[in-house]
Structure 1
Amino acid sequence: MRIPLKAGLAAAALLGATTVLAQPGLAQNTLTVGGYGGSFETLMKEHIIPPFEQANDVTVQFVPGNSTENLARLQAQRDNQEIDVVILDDGPMYQAVALGFCDTLTDIPSLPDIYDIARMGTDKAIGVGFVATGFAYNAEMFEKEGWDPPSSWMDLADPKFEQLTSVPPISNTYGLHTLVMMARLHGGGENDIEPGFEAMVEKVAPNVLVFEPSSGKMSELFQAQEIALSIWGSGRVKALADTGFPAEFAYPKEGAIALMVAACPVVDSDVPAAAQAFVDYLLQPEVQVRLAETNGFGPTNKNTVLPEELQTLPYGPDKISQLVAVDWNAINPKREEWTQRWAREVER
């Protein structure tokens, strides 16, 4: 039996003002949600979870951790799952699906309103937020130098950016995306990565000042004007721009890569109806606005309306059409091998 959520939750619901009669069978139930820590955990505990609990007479426990940690929890608890809903980056989520941890999405009324790319080619998980992997650049420095905004992934190889760029390492999804796009642009792809490594070693690496994994250090590099250009996520660029720094995000003409935040109901949950309802709740437009405001996630629900100041995020049909997906089912089995090779050849 599905837990009814009030259609089109009012914005006030996110502030804890919802008063919906609960299903009698849900009293005293506990739903455990695994997701990111930091600002995401704060948002969930202060604004997202309370109205859901009130509307559905269910207690929600939040387990913080990055995607690797929460995927490891699912593996460790395979025969006795404690997590009912898990929120992961799309790469680890495809692993969770392949390993049989995600239940089928059976009661998600919002599904018809979700962009196709966020459906992830599966009925086991769904994207609840978009981050675009593309260019971060110092708009003030570009204007001063008379440079046009970056427009192609191959701008990473432009000699004028020698020692003025940063690319995260392959252990970071942004670096992995860069490798895949270099492979695609040179005749290869996820199933033929050789051209990608050749392009990284010969064309991109000479321009890279540092392969920086830390978002905090990346921000410092920009603020110290040690770099003018990097591959980064749209949400990270928004956070840097919110500090007053002239950071802007650019979509490469070949496409920015969709890095999705995804959710799935976990198999063998003892509150399966609540798990399905919570996933649907994360797709509600009002919740999607909150995710955009606080974490820079572009909405996957087409009916979400963002205020003008947030429309630099992946938002609306035009920008979503500029997003491309990578084949995580091809990448995941090879990622460890690629990581070792990257250390030997790209960052040597």
Structure 2
Amino acid sequence: MKKSGILLAAAASLLATSAFAETKTLTVGGYGGSFETLMKELIIPEFEKTHDVKIAFVAGNSTENLARLQAQKGAQELDVVILDDGPMYQADALGFCAPMTQSAAKDDVYDIAKFSPDAIGIGFVATGFTYNKDWFAKEGWDLPTSWEDLKDPKYNQILSVPPISNTYGLHALVMLARDAGGGENDIDPGFTAMADEVAPNVLVFEPSSGKMSELFQSGEIALSVWGSGRTKSLADTGFPAGFIYPKEGAVALMLAACPVVDSDVSDEAQAFIDYLLDPEIQVKLADAMGAGPVNKKAELPPALAETLPYGDKINSLITVDWDVINPNRQDWTTRWNREVER
């Protein structure tokens, strides 16, 4: 090879090595299962291409990823974390979330999804009632319209409520407390209602979404406290599942994201959160995950709009006070195990 050819080859190799060395890695912690599949197949590739970055996705539920943040304090592995709203409030309070930059995408987000200057909702799930349409039609039953209807004796042993370790069960406890004149700051009425009037109807306090689906499909339950997204996933299998927004309000359970402190790719972290808020990506989250869009400009097709928290339904969603709940949750869990699932 001529000297000039050698020099050209060396230069090309150097440029390739340099380009490879400069490729940044953005580490995102989020849910596993179908959410991880959605991220890796439909969302991450386009962001990598347009931002010249490689994304490493770390799968785990909210509890696991919050524990990961705590274990790696001062030397964080994650650059962006996606959690349920309750754990996100904890992550923010513990100082794991960095301030977010202002952007047009964030300006278009519903106020209810704006957690703090450091964290933001990326999708709405409503906690309400999931029911078997065929079962209710066969029995000729009116649909439940209130959290109080969980006490109806006709649901004896055909109702499932997740335990308090699951956000859906926690929401039910708070709503029963509110209906009885209490609330987050006075949870006793909720425990009384749950233990004495709802629990007798409960076949099983089921925390697993997969097993909850099996209970419906096997005909063991006709009604459950569950999320709108989970209901959509069950209905997508062909099961006659319907979702009800209680008249007192369905409770907002938000998927939330924040940039993690001390990231060495902070610009990319901020950009990725804005990317998740883009109307087109919001529609993908709705279609694949059953998460209603937080961006007001996202437009869902009619079939999705009918079932998910969207449009006018957003105004009827209510929130719980995580600043009160989080410090008490362990004590409430102990009490639940003693009084409710006895």
Across the aligned residues of Structure 1 and Structure 2, the Cα RMSD in angstroms comes to 1.4
Looking at structure 2, the residues matched to 107 and 32 of structure 1 have their Cα atoms a distance apart, in angstroms, of 22
Q: Which residue of 1 aligns with 2:183?
A: 189
Q: CA deviation at 1:224?
A: 2.0
Q: Contact 2:125/2:309 (CA < 8 Å) preserved in 1? A: no
Please give the residue correspondences for 1:77-92 in structure 2 after superposition, counting only pairs within 5 Å: 77-92=72-87
Match of 1:107 in 2: 102
Long gaps (5+) in structure 1: 1-23
In structure 2, distance between residues paired with 1:142 and 1:180: 26
Paired with 2:79 and 2:103, the residues of 1 have a C-alpha distance of 16
CA positional deviation for 1:127: 0.4
3-state SS of the aligned residue for 2:268? helix
The residue that corresponds to 1:94 in the other structure is 89
Q: Would the aligned equivalents of 1:97 and 1:124 in 2 still touch at CA under 8 Å?
A: yes
Listed as ranges, the matches of 1:119-134 within 5 Å are 119-120=114-115, 122-134=116-128
CA deviation after TM superposition for structure 1 residue 86, in Å: 0.3
SS in 2 for 1:177: helix
* Residue number among 272, 287, 292 corresponding to 2:286 in the alignment: 292
CA–CA distance in 1 between the matches of 2:307 and 2:252? Answer: 12
TM-score scaled by length of structure 1: 0.90
Q: Is the 8 A contact 1:28 1:58 kept in 2?
A: yes
Partner deviation per Cα, 1:108-137 (whole Å, 9 max, x = no partner)? 3211211111112x1110000111100000
1:237 matches 2:231:
yes
Q: Does 1:53 align with 2:48?
A: yes
Give the structure 1 partner of residue 12 of structure 2.
none
Given candidates 193, 196, 207, the residue that maps to 1:202 is: 196
* 1:251 aligned onto 2:242: no
Higher radius of gyration, 1 or 2: 2
**Whole-angstrom CA distance in 2 between matches of 1:57 and 1:223:** 45
Alignment check: 8 A CA contact 1:293 1:310 kept: yes
Among 118, 122, 127, the alignment partner of 2:113 is 118
Among 52, 72, 78, the residue aligned to 2:67: 72
Alpha-carbon deviations, 1:48-107, whole Å to 9, x = none?
111111111111111111111111111111111111100001110000000000011123
Q: Which amino acid counterpart does residue 319 of structure 2 have in structure 1?
A: A
Q: 2:329 aligns with which of 324, 331, 335?
A: 335
Instruction: Output one character per residue of 1:238-267: Cα deviation in whole Å (capped at 9) or x when no partner.
Output: 111111111100000000001100000011
**SS of the residue aligned with 2:193?**
helix
What is the CA distance between 1:27 and its match in structure 2? Answer: 4.7
What is the aligned length?
Answer: 323
In 2, are the aligned partners of 1:27 and 1:58 still within 8 Å (CA)?
no
- CA apart distance, 1:317: 2.8
Kept after mapping to 2: 8 A contact 1:172/1:213 = yes
Report the structure, 1 or 2, having the larger helix content: 2
**Cα separation, 2, equivalents of 1:317 and 1:238:** 17
| Contact 1:32-1:85 at 8 Å conserved across structures | yes
Q: Is 1:217 paired with 2:216?
A: no
Match of 2:172 among 157, 171, 178: 178
Is the 1:182–1:200 contact (alpha carbons within 8 Å) kept by the matching residues of 2? Answer: yes
Helix, strand or coil for the counterpart of 1:73? helix
Q: Given that residues 108 and 277 in structure 1 are in contact (C-alpha distance below 8 angstroms), is that contact kept between their aligned partners in structure 2?
A: no
1:154 and 2:151 are equivalent in the alignment = no
Query: 1:330, CA displacement in angstroms?
Result: 0.7
